[in-house]
A and B are shown apart, each in its own frame.
Chain A
């Protein structure tokens, strides 16, 4: 891997507890390194099983220059291939989502079955052997219906630990029995790491997210204690203890598991109570879908949050699921893709209303997008200088930056 001395120096000299140096948010060289090392070698969340419910369904996703097609084969397995024809390299599937019998290159109709095997060509002569040509496979990991892919030849093995832990947490929400009823693709004018860092703290929540904080306790992700909030924080801590006991007894895993750094596949999970009616992340904190997920009957399951390094976060409530993935576009632009899922049998207009379901996070995403853009504008300023993280509210931002620098160090060492 070719890495300039300047970049090596930047990686080596990162100061713990501080924001990253400006080039991490602005440099094309570092962006390319990110795509190769972070997005090219780690497990990346890209979609959910309900994106491809039936054999032949596919979706495509871009990781840097790589385009990948993720699909459901005839045996209902989820598989993934590089979206590149083995003939002259044309992109096979140009739609973001679709359905195919076989995978047919639109250019010269080279036809692959859903296992990636080439099964038909014309004009290639008798000597040409279809059986020797396959689409290039991409590793697929599935955590209770959340689909991850990894472009590395040998993907990080600790994905299995994340899967083993998370399946227990997510299983009651039954992702595979959901349907995606809304998707928001939103381009933020910022480096992908700014989007992630913004996500990993709620320091900014009270003053920026009036919709989200209707249902979300501001204490959930770290808070500096002081005499004026002591009672509230005590009450929140007690509530967590009480709700965790209740949820765990009913079979809903709730305790925090935090492995955000010191490993290749970083993640964190915790089930947190919601405010007021405590049912869901909506404006009134009540469920947005009357038909609960799976065969749940308890509405007050709080919000199970699941974060992964490098690029995703998810919220599982009793009635709906919201998933987020950040897909870098270039050094200063990122795609934030949000999906909302409800029970596949829920009926729009009767059980749920898409506007009500999505309004909190659409508003929050736009607000976060503006914050990220602000940060990006700051990062390109000559006056930019890394500042210190709050030890109370920005511990997870620090973990994200740690993980990121560790991974770069491992790769360029």
Chain B
């Protein structure tokens, strides 16, 4: 059957098609890839049979994929808005070691179909009506908040939103142009970007570093009055959570969603600016003369990368040993894959890529 919705077809315009239901037709046909940033692609889908995507912004769909003969289910929050029901999109960041994200990047092309379930989930501003919202996102955690923002924009009602997005560099800000466009169109919609580094954009004038409470107070002095929606990698959200809780924020008004909660491993591998917090441990690099913060669950390598330090590395899973470093003091939980020998460990070496601190660390880097 070739019939798919052509919204410009006069017959289609006569009546909205029925709601897309995965129970009846679980196939989504990819119609376009949009390169959002260097390592982020949006995949735009249409239903196989004429139907309209109806969902609450912030919800996710579950992809069911066959990868290397194995069936893998992975949830992705929808980045498109239900106000444009003809198409549905997800926005995927390539993740080191991420089986599904890499598969999608490498394989999913326009014309191909995939199986999907949903939408479902209740990480939705619509469930928590409030006068003012604060959206906090890290990396590809932008997607559900983008869906909410696009909806608010399309609805053209004065919704008060402050959208703070954390990224590695200005070039890594997903939907940067569209967010700026929405800012121009809506008086009550404000965006703020916090990039770890200015890489490639020396003229970048927004704050660099990490989201701190002090910075948040500058961006949204009334943050305490806002309903907070937060999405990003687990370490990011954990840091945001503790930052807000420490500041006395009413946590019943804090809502969070992992941008990719189907796979903790993939989420954890995502390097993203983590809010400064007292969580985690300090890592002192003796040669570099830098002390950085490693969030709970974050690998030492990722923490260094977030701090803008490049430790030579490759596999990020303890196999190649490229990042092997001397641990001067402290203890780590290391889950290596053969890239280091016990006798090297006995001599005080470790692999930062697969180690999380169990105490404050000093390393010879």
Chain A residues engaging chain B, CB cutoff 8 angstroms: 54-56, 99-102, 104, 109, 111, 113, 119-120, 122, 125-127
Contact = CB atoms under 8 A, between A and B. Distances in A.
Given A101-B321, A101-B344, 6 more contacts: A54-B341, A99-B344, A101-B338, A120-B315, A126-B106, A127-B106
B305 to A, nearest CB: 15
B319 A100 contact: no
Contact of A55 (B102, B321, B340, B341): B341
A109 B103 contact: no
Given A102-B321, A104-B321, A126-B103, A109 B315 contact: yes
A119 B106 contact: no
B327 to A, nearest CB: 16
A99 B336 CA distance: 17
Given A101-B338, A113-B338, A125 B314 contact: no
B341 A56 contact: yes
A120 B103 contact: no
A120 B320 contact: yes
Chain A, interface SS category: loop
Contact of A119 (B103, B107, B319): B319
27 contacts: A99-B341, A100-B321, A101-B321, A101-B336, A101-B338, A101-B339, A101-B341, A102-B319, A102-B320, A102-B321, A102-B338, A104-B314, A104-B320, A104-B339, A109-B314, A109-B315, A109-B322, A111-B315, A111-B319, A119-B319, A120-B314, A120-B319, A120-B320, A122-B315, A126-B102, A126-B106, A127-B106
Contacts of B343: 54, 99
Contacts of A119: 319
A127 B321 CA distance: 25
Nearest to A123: B314
Interface of B: 102-103, 106-107, 314-315, 317, 319-322, 336, 338-341, 343-344
A111 B106 contact: no
B15 to A, nearest CB: 42
B112 to A, nearest CB: 14
A344 to B, nearest CB: 16
A202 B320 CA distance: 51
B250 to A, nearest CB: 45
Contacts of B102: 126
Given A111-B320, A126-B102, A126-B107, A101 B340 contact: yes
Nearest to B314: A109
Contacts of A56: 341
B106 A125 contact: yes
7 A-B pairs closest in CB distance: A126-B106, A109-B314, A111-B320, A101-B339, A120-B315, A120-B319, A104-B320
A125 B107 CA distance: 10
Contacts of B106: 125-127
Nearest to A106: B322
Nearest to B67: A126
A109 B341 contact: no
B320 A109 contact: yes
Contacts of B344: 99, 101
A54 B341 CA distance: 10
Contacts of A54: 341, 343
A240 to B, nearest CB: 46
Q: A104, A120, A127 — which one has the most chain B CB atoms within 10 A of its CB? A: A120
A122 B314 contact: yes
Nearest to A57: B341
B341 A111 contact: no
Contact of A111 (B107, B314, B336): B314
Contacts of A104: 314, 320-322, 339
A389 B322 CA distance: 57
Nearest to B351: A101
A99 B349 CA distance: 13
Contacts of B314: 104, 109, 111, 120, 122
Contacts of A127: 106
Nearest to A104: B320
Contacts of B317: 120
B53 to A, nearest CB: 28
A56 B345 CA distance: 14
A110 B262 CA distance: 29
Contacts of A126: 102-103, 106-107
Contacts of B321: 100-102, 104, 111
Q: A55, A101, A113, A126 — which one has the most chain B CB atoms within 10 A of its CB? A: A101
B242 to A, nearest CB: 33
Nearest to B339: A101
Nearest to A105: B320
Nearest to B104: A126
Contacts of B319: 102, 111, 119-120
A386 B319 CA distance: 58
Contacts of B338: 101-102, 113
Nearest to A128: B106
A100 B320 CA distance: 10
Contacts of A113: 338
Contacts of A120: 314-315, 317, 319-320
Q: B103, B320, B338, B340 — which one has the most chain A CB atoms within 10 A of its CB? A: B320
